[in-house]
Amino acid sequence: MMQGVVFKITEDKIVVLCDDGKFRNLPHSPEMPVLGQKITVPEIPIVQEKKKTGWKLQVSKRCIAVASFLLLIGIAWILNVSLRPAPTVAMVAIDINPSIELFIDDKGKVNKTSFVNEDSKTLLQEKDLLGKEFYEAVGIIIHAAKKQGYIDLETDKKYVLMSVVDTGKAAFQVDASKVTPDQDDVQLELYYADQQKQEKAKEAGLTLNKYIVYEQAKQMGIEIELEELRTHSVVASLNHAGVDPQRFFKKEATPVKDDKVKETKREESKKQEDNKGEKKPAQTSKPASSNQTKSHENNGKREKEKPEPNKSSKDRYGDDDRRGEKDNDKVNKDKHRDRDDDDDRDDGKGRDIDKDKDKYKDKDKDKNRDRDRDNHRESDKHKDKNDKDRDDD
């Protein structure tokens, strides 16, 4: 008989640690042992569990395979959802002179960027903007543009153009007050466009913002060359067309004719030469006639009426390309005044020529008179000589 030590007693059985090192469960006996008591353990035949065979085993294997497959699918789906970038809901095009496109997801963060021109590629890198909240990314762009001189608040290079194109999945609205909260002097021009206009801009070889400005200029009767917009900023292109950017964005600009642009450029150049202190040497001439004096007085008044050129502009075109909006009536009056002065000057010259002719005529008369007098004297001499010779004979 095998011996064992009572290890545990429960409500329905006695757990015994046998001499062979195995635990055995014994039913309650009439005389209940106590814990740690050594008792005799009856021989109990060990019944081995029957192995599953046949169709039951095949069903179990199939269930395990199906469960494993479903588990793998679930894990793959979870990983795909967690690692997949959020869908793009809008594209925001930003133009300073660097042109950058930001693709915004449904959480308002940047999930993709596009650096359109060479200036933008030297301004920032994609890693500087990816994953950033939209307004934070815009702040980074403006700060970098200021640092590299693309934004200069002392000149007219203070405009940031922004166009929003929805992809149709969800509307994305830009809060202008959040774009430049700490940049009060930066002027934001915000537009909303569709994908059709975006395609037209690509066909024209322009960024979306430049194409929108080009269309607005056409509607206002202002001509801006496409090649100028392709190679220069919007502000520089407007200045080159003789349009004040501030008046343009306020929808107050008017068409500028070519002759007016030339006249403005000529006046500014002349004014700049005067400001530099360049004086021409005085020339001796005949006393000016009353008409010429009047013409000089009118010219002096007109020079005083000319507006001072914008000395603070530092655009890449230089001083010759700073052309502000002038008043058409004033330009026409100046032209008429110049024409009248030219006519007066021509009349004065004509009178001076007539006087010179009269002087020459008087001189010729005096010469003829002197010559006649000399001839008369010579004739008298010959006559006296002949009379003397006759008397001597």
Rounded to two decimals, the pTM is 0.49
- Pair 6, 39: CB distance under 8 Å: yes
Q: How far apart (Å, rounded) are the C-alpha atoms in residues 162 and 208?
A: 9
- Tell whether 73 is covered by a domain: no
Question: In terms of domains, do 9 and 124 share one?
Answer: no
* Residue spans of beta strands (DSSP E) within the chain: 2-9, 14-18, 23-26, 38-41, 88-95, 99-105, 110-115, 159-166, 187-193
Q: Which of 33-47, 192-206, 220-234 has the lowest mean pLDDT?
A: 33-47
Q: Is residue 281 part of a domain?
A: no
Q: Is residue 331 part of a domain?
A: no
Under 8 Å between Cβ of 240 and 232: yes
Q: Tell me, what's the pLDDT at 379?
A: 76
Confidence band, pLDDT 50/70/90 cuts, at residue 263? low
Count the domains in the chain: 2
- Is the CB of residue 206 less than 8 Å from the CB of residue 214? yes
- Give the pLDDT score at 215: 93
Mean pLDDT (the chain) is 75
3-18 pLDDT tens trace: 888 888 888 888 988 8
Q: Are strands 88-95 and 38-41 parallel, antiparallel or unpaired?
A: unpaired
Residue 52, in any domain of the structure: no
**Single-letter amino acid code for the residue at 27:** P
Backbone angles phi, psi at 279, to 5 degrees: -115, 135
The pLDDT of residue 279 is 41
Residue 340 lies in a domain: no
- Confirm whether 166 is domain-assigned: yes
The CA-atom distances, in angstroms, between 138 and each of 13, 115, 144, 254 are 76, 14, 10, 32
In whole angstroms, how far apart are CA 342 and each of 268, 335, 349, 352? 21, 10, 10, 15
Residue 258 pLDDT more than 70?
no
- State the average pLDDT over residues 151-162: 89
Exposed, middle or buried, 323 (CB in 10 Å: 0-12/13-18/19+)?
buried
Burial class of residue 99 in the structure, from the number of CB atoms within 10 Å of its CB (0-12 exposed, 13-18 middle, 19+ buried): buried
Query: CA angle at residue 270 from 269 to 272, to 5 degrees?
Result: 65
Domain residue limits at 185: 88-226
- The answer to whether residues 6 and 130 belong to one domain is no
CB-based contact 341:279 (threshold 8 Å): no
Q: How far is CA 162 from the centre of its chain?
A: 8
Q: Are residues 164 and 37 in the same domain?
A: no
Helices 328-392 and 258-275 cross at an angle (nearest 10°) of 70
Query: For the segment 28-69, what is each residue's pLDDT rounded down to a tens digit?
Result: 888 888 888 888 888 765 444 455 555 555 667 777 888 888
> Is residue 35 domain-shared with residue 139, that is, in the same domain?
no
Q: Greater confidence, 152 or 307? A: 152
Answer yes or no: is pLDDT of 360 > 80: no
Kindly state whether residue 248 falls inside one of the protein's structural domains: no
Q: Which residue has the higher pLDDT, 232 or 370?
A: 232
Residues 130 and 210 placed together within one structural domain of the fold: yes
Q: Is the pLDDT of residue 182 over 50?
A: yes
Report helix angle 208-219 to 195-204, nearest 10.
Answer: 90
262 has a pLDDT exceeding 50? no
Residue 111's pLDDT band, with cuts at 50, 70 and 90, is very high
Residue 295: the pLDDT is 45
**Statement to judge: residues 97 and 200 lie in one domain:** yes
Residues 134 and 210 occupy one common structural domain? yes
The set of residues, in sequence order, having a beta carbon less than 8 Å from that of 131 and lying 6+ positions away, is 109, 110, 111
Read off φ and ψ for residue 380, nearest 5 degrees.
-65, -40
pLDDT (0 to 100) of residue 384: 72
